[in-house]
Amino acid sequence: MKKLSLIIALLFLYQQCFCWGFYAHKKINYYAVFLLPPQMLVLYKQHIDFLTAHAVDPDKRRYVVAVEGARHYIDIDHYGKYPFTSLPRRWSDAVAKFSTDTLQKHGIVPWWVQNMLHRLTDAFAEKNQARILKMSAEIGHYIADAHVPLHANSNHNGQYTNQQGIHGFWESRVPELLAEKDWDFFIGKAEYIKDPGKFIWQRVLESAAAADTVLRYEKELSKQFSPDQKFSFEDRNGVIVRQYSTSFTKTYDAKLKGMVERRMRMAIFAVASFWYTAWVNAGEPDLSALSNKEFSSEELKEFETLNEAWKIAGNKEHE
Ligand SMILES: [Zn+2]
């Protein structure tokens, strides 16, 4: 019985979120703020807690809205081999060739990021503060997901190669163990993105190209570590969980030569640059003079619904 609950706890940890763990998503939005020009810092610095906390709303929404899931990934290997030229990069061309159903089935993250950029740009044009903050927090999430190799590969949790757990290992365990002490997230300045579609597709293609290494290295290292060395038991918020051991995690990170940190840094730069691009495209509105400063009761209700759904889903997986 005890063993069963341990295993369930492990599954919960790594199934809770097939996206940069909550930890990394929050860090990415947080650090992105510091890349912004002074005219944007006026708003973003003041609301950095909101941008950080709501970086994970899109993951919570997966428990409420069925179509949400597809926005976080693309199983691009479904469309052939790198660089996947059979898949049109424009949404309308891709729909014409493959149908909306097929695209939704295999994930739509590169298109969804562009959709969110339009929404954020509109929010700036309307000078709607609540909407700017909400859209900024959420686009940050999708951009970050596009930087994760296993978000661009159908073997997203190593389920086809007996590597279950690798998803959370790469994007949660590695950063949670190493980011605070060893990684550097001060990255210069946000830049204007002339062609956002091209930019995000480039990042997705890099992710897709790296997925093979992410999987292969874990497999190779697993042959060098006994199960006892590979996993350890640790207390996590009062629950004993089995997780990848510190030494296995550090060895994996070293073998990847800083890939996780590099992708996280690139995600931070991309998030800040998309925020900046939306603001410029909206005509650089004065962010110290915005309207709609309070969230509407509807928006507040949505935040609550997302949290409730998240808690219930978590408890169900614990049972
Ligand atoms: Zn996600």
CA 69 to ligand 1 centroid distance, Å: 8
The pLDDT score that the predictor gives to residue 161 is 96
Question: Higher-confidence residue: 89 or 235?
Answer: 89
What does the pLDDT look like over 191-228, one tens digit per residue?
A: 999 999 999 999 999 999 999 999 999 999 999 999 99
CA 29 to ligand 1 centroid distance, Å: 13
The pLDDT score that the predictor gives to residue 237 is 81
Question: Rounded to an integer, what distance in angstroms lies between the CA atom of residue 27 and that of residue 305?
Answer: 24
CA 87 to ligand 1 centroid distance, Å: 22
Classify residue 273 as exposed, middle or buried by CB count within 10 Å of its CB (0-12, 13-18, 19+).
buried
CA 167 to ligand 1 centroid distance, Å: 12
The pLDDT score that the predictor gives to residue 11 is 44
CA 198 to ligand 1 centroid distance, Å: 21
**Which DSSP string corresponds to the chain?**
-HHHHHHHHHHHHHHS-SSS-HHHHHHHHHHHHTTS-HHHHHHHTTTHHHHHHGGGHHHHHTTT-GGGGGGG---GGGG-STT-TTS-SSHHHHHHHH-HHHHHHH--HHHHHHHHHHHHHHHHHTTBHHHHHHHHHHHHHHHHHHT-GGGSSS-TTSTTTT-TTHHHIIIIIHHHHHHHHH-----------S-HHHHHHHHHHHHHHHHHHHHHHHHHHHHHS-HHHHEEEEEETTEEEEEE-HHHHHHHHHHTTTHHHHHHHHHHHHHHHHHHHHHHHTT---TTS-B--SPPHHHHHHHHHHHHHHHHHHHHHH-
Q: Which of 80-89, 91-100, 239-248 is predicted least confidently? A: 239-248
What does the pLDDT look like over 17-55, one tens digit per residue?
A: 455 778 999 999 999 999 999 999 999 999 999 999 999
CA 148 to ligand 1 centroid distance, Å: 10
CA 21 to ligand 1 centroid distance, Å: 9
CA 8 to ligand 1 centroid distance, Å: 22
Question: Rounded to an integer, what distance in angstroms lies between the CA atom of residue 129 and that of residue 143?
Answer: 21
CA 55 to ligand 1 centroid distance, Å: 9
CA 226 to ligand 1 centroid distance, Å: 32
CA 30 to ligand 1 centroid distance, Å: 16
CA 72 to ligand 1 centroid distance, Å: 5
CA 1 to ligand 1 centroid distance, Å: 32
Give φ, ψ of 239 to 5 degrees.
Answer: -110, 130
The pTM assigned to this predicted structure is 0.92
In the predicted structure, residue 13 carries a pLDDT above the cut 60: no
Amino acid (one-letter) located at 2? K
The pLDDT score that the predictor gives to residue 234 is 83
| Residue 10 binned pLDDT confidence (cut-offs 50, 70, 90) | very low
What does the pLDDT look like over 262-319, one tens digit per residue?
A: 999 999 999 999 999 999 999 999 999 999 999 999 999 999 999 999 888 876 554 3
The pLDDT score that the predictor gives to residue 286 is 98
List Cβ neighbours of 5 (8 Å cut-off, separation of 6 or more): none
